[in-house]
Chains A and B, each alone.
Chain A
Amino acid sequence: MIFEGAAWAIFLLPLASFVVISLFVRPFLNQYEKYSGYLTILAIGAAFVLSIWALGSVLGNEGEIGWEAHSWLAIGNLEISLGILMDPLTAILLIVVTSVSLAVQVYSQGYMRGDPSYSRYFAFMSLFTASMLGLVLARNIVQLYAFWELVGLSSYLLIGFWYNRPAAAAAAKKAFLVTRLGDVGFLLGILYLFFNKEAFLSQGLNPFEIADINLIAHGGEVAGVQIIALGSGVATWVAVGIFAGAVGKSAQFPLHVWLPDAMEGPTPVSALIHAATMVVAGVFLVARFFPLFESSTTAMNIVAVIGGFTAIFAATMGLVMNDIKRVLAYSTVSQLGYMMLALGVGAYEAAIFHLFNHAFFKALLFLGAGSVNHASGTFNMQYMGGLKRYMPRTYVTFLIAAVSISGIFPLAGFWSKDEILVGAWNHGGTIGQLVFWMALVAAFMTAFYIFRALFLTFHGEFRGGVDAENGSQSGGHGVHLAESPWVMVAPMMVLAVPAVVSGFLANPLNTAWGLGIVPTHWFSKLLGNVEFISVHPEPMNLVMAFGSTVVALAGIGLAYLMYYAHKVSPEKVAAAIRPAYNAAFCKYYFDDLYEDWITRRGFYKGVAQSTDWVDRNIIDRIGVGIGFLGRNVGQVIGMLENGQVQAYGAGMSIGILVILVVFSIWN
């Protein structure tokens, strides 16, 4: 059974690594910078081992391990605590974050070799991992919010890691500002809880404790005590505020624009932060407050529809991108939409399961893209091709991940995608129907775009790489067609294992069919131990499984015809649907809408220029006017002060005369 200090160490070890690297290694021992990489791996490796321990303990405990909260601040009768909430959801996220982070840190040893800011990279990576683990472990919504902002900060720092490239600097700013827009909603949600604190305090609960929020949202009789639930209006608004934060962080429509641009960061960063961990923080957040969301149908429908729309909307853009990392970025947005959709239809365990599987195969896809970049020097798939011959190990791992994300039996993606589809179907109603079909179309597109990327990158003839791309800015590796070093390939191979087998953890099959190793519905039952969560593990739906596999195979088949067999010309298809193709290729003009219309014309021309006018012409003039007034009055009064006794005497005499006259008239 894990003790509390060990749980704190999961978060503190990477933090210590960040502090040591940034305060000691980087300023004093920069010639030994390779040790910053080793230190990071060591710290995260230890955190990984502790996370496994934590998961084991949670399994043994069959649910939350109760630890006391530590008092941090007291505002009147309201206490803000610090502490750890160790339940199955936390334990699963800990495993995801530490394992993917560990793989990515090892990979970075090869990918970042020779970078002038090697130590800074690992310092930021440690900071990110620490903040993400802190976010997952938080027991208090204020504590969670602090780490929420910290992961945003580390994301900003790492997207802009190559800050001398204007595109990277701009992308970092964009990511920070766009996610901040959602964070404002999150903060408003927290404040709204605060304003409704009486509902909590009168029942001896704390409006900032996550467990208490879920308890009061759940309502009813809990442990023999009748709990008065929040009003549905309050619950809805708090849930919507929290969801706004999730929309920003998880790049859901309409705040999806930052994630594709975030690909300007180093590829391992994209793999860790913008595919596997930070972007799922939004999904985690909704899952964390799931009882709250469940208590409001409106909030659930919003989550489902935003998720479903994002899944299909992002997938259409993934179909047409030429940059492999952008294809993967839109894929990530789309898959995150899947998870949100699952949460919205109440398929809690399916969403978390997809989060779990997705982390591995999407990180693997990104690491593959980085490996490909290592050889070809570019991310543009138009200049790749034929790399299968030169980098077979990268090819095989990429292929495994691609098959997995497409949802082909029996790889990981199949199981979770299937559960989500079943969940949406069983939810029923207009919303359930709507998001089910959205998810199914998105599944088709997913299979298509990921195999399009695979065929363009690895099959056919090599099309020249960075040399053919002339004047590209993609790192300047130059072309050297060879497999990446083992330090990069090994983590990919390790990640390929869960990409294949992690799906079995859900095991919807009867024990009679038995895979024998994993008990039926293992994953769902584990999550069923989260407080106030009820899971409904479904037996495998063969029609659904068959249908979704056919859809995925159709997507793969279409990609095969267009990009491998060249039976169908992509150019002709694009020409046939030219307006739609252009719209998707230009990202539905959302960047133009936000940057040109809302930012430039709305904010800059409208708000900023009018406030500037007010500032210059009214505020400034008042200030300057007061200054002039003071100076002029001073000059006039100064003229009286002329040093002539006779003038003073005259003034005094006239003054007395005036006083006398006034006084006599007065009386």
Chain B
Amino acid sequence: MNLENFLIFSGIIFSIGLYGALSKKNVITVLMSIELMFNGVNIALIAFSRYVVPQRIAADPVAAEAEVARALAEGTALGETVLSTLLTGQVFAIFIITIAAAEVALGLGIVIAMYRNRETVDVTQANLMRG
């Protein structure tokens, strides 16, 4: 397994989601497609996080790990910097998952509000803002 495979997979998921988001008329389907796009992005982030590491760590992971462990034990700033660099992708993914959960909750609320008002969940009918 290498980075390219993950990125291709991520691209496929994202594209499927994008296609769905742009082509489906049902709001529920659109929301589901958006979830797919989120997850495509998440995969990419995790993959990058896993495979792209600073050069010094990649050159000698064992020495680097020791250095970081020592720094962490001594409580210097270097340790936290390295950790946050290594963990940025994962943290982003967690954020996205959280946001996505909130978005779905909000989106479904809007869908229900729209359905109450217009008795449809067809996005093409949601054009009140058109000039």
Chain B residues in 8 Å Cβ range of A645: 123, 126
Cα distance A646–B123 in the bound complex, in angstroms: 8
Number of A-B contacts defined by CB within 8 Å? 25
Partner of A641, one of B23, B124, B131: B131
Q: A609 near B: Cβ within 8 Å? A: no
Report the interface size for chain A: residues with CB under 8 A from the other chain. Answer: 9
Encoded as 1 (CB less than 8 Å from any B CB) or 0, chain A from 633 to 658 comes to 00000000111111001100100000
Q: In whole Å, how far is A651's beta carbon from the nearest beta carbon of chain B?
A: 10
CA distance A646 to B124 in the complex (A): 8
Chain B residues, CB < 8 A from A646: 21-23, 30, 123-124
How many B residues, CB 8 Å from partner? Answer: 13
Q: Would B21 and A649 count as touching, CB distance under 8 A? A: yes
**CB pair A653 B130 closer than 8 Å:** no
CA distance A653 to B22 in the complex (A): 10
Closest to B21 in A: A649
Q: Which residues of B contact A643 (CB under 8 A)?
A: 127-131
Q: How many Å lie between the Cα of A570 and that of B123 in the bound state?
A: 105
How far apart sit A644 and B123, CA to CA, in the bound complex (Å)? 8
The yes or no answer to B18 lying at the interface (CB within 8 A) is: yes
Q: Would you give the shortest CB distance from A649 to chain B, in whole angstroms?
A: 5
Contact B130 A642, beta carbon cutoff 8 Å: yes
Return the contact of A653 from the options B18, B30, B126, B131 (Cβ within 8 A).
B18
Q: Is the interface of A mostly helix, strand, loop or mixed?
A: helix
For A642, what are the chain B residues with a Cβ–Cβ distance below 8 Å?
127, 130
The complex places the Cα of A650 from the Cα of B18 at a distance, in Å, of 9
Measured between beta carbons, the chain B residues less than 8 angstroms from A653 are 18, 22
Most chain B beta-carbon neighbours within 10 Å: one of A641, A642, A646, A650:
A646
A residues near B124, Cβ cutoff 8 Å: 644, 646
Q: Which residues of B contact A641 (CB under 8 A)?
A: 130-131
Nearest CB on A from B39, distance (A) = 18
A407 to B130, CA, bound (A): 95
With both beta carbons as reference points, the residue of chain A lying nearest to B124 in the complex is identified as A644
The docked-state distance in angstroms from the alpha carbon of A338 to that of B55 is 112
| A645 and B21 alpha carbons, distance in the complex (Å) | 10
Distance in angstroms from A33 CB to nearest chain B CB is 67
**Residue of B with least CB distance to A652:** B22
* Interface hits, B22-36 → A, CB 8 Å: 22-23, 30
User: CA of A641 to CA of B127 in the docked complex: distance in angstroms?
Assistant: 11
Nearest CB of chain B from residue A659's CB, rounded to whole Å: 16
Give the interface of A toward B (CB within 8 A).
641-646, 649-650, 653
Contacts A641-B130, A646-B22, A646-B123 known; 20 new A-B pairs at CB < 8 A: A641-B131, A642-B127, A642-B130, A643-B127, A643-B128, A643-B129, A643-B130, A643-B131, A644-B123, A644-B124, A644-B127, A645-B123, A645-B126, A646-B21, A646-B30, A649-B21, A649-B22, A650-B22, A653-B18, A653-B22
B: residues with CB less than 8 A from A are 18, 21-23, 30, 123-124, 126-131
Q: List 16 A-B residue pairs with CB atoms under 8 Å apart, sorted by A's residue number.
A: A641-B131, A642-B127, A642-B130, A643-B127, A643-B128, A643-B130, A643-B131, A644-B127, A645-B123, A646-B22, A646-B123, A646-B124, A649-B21, A649-B22, A650-B22, A653-B18
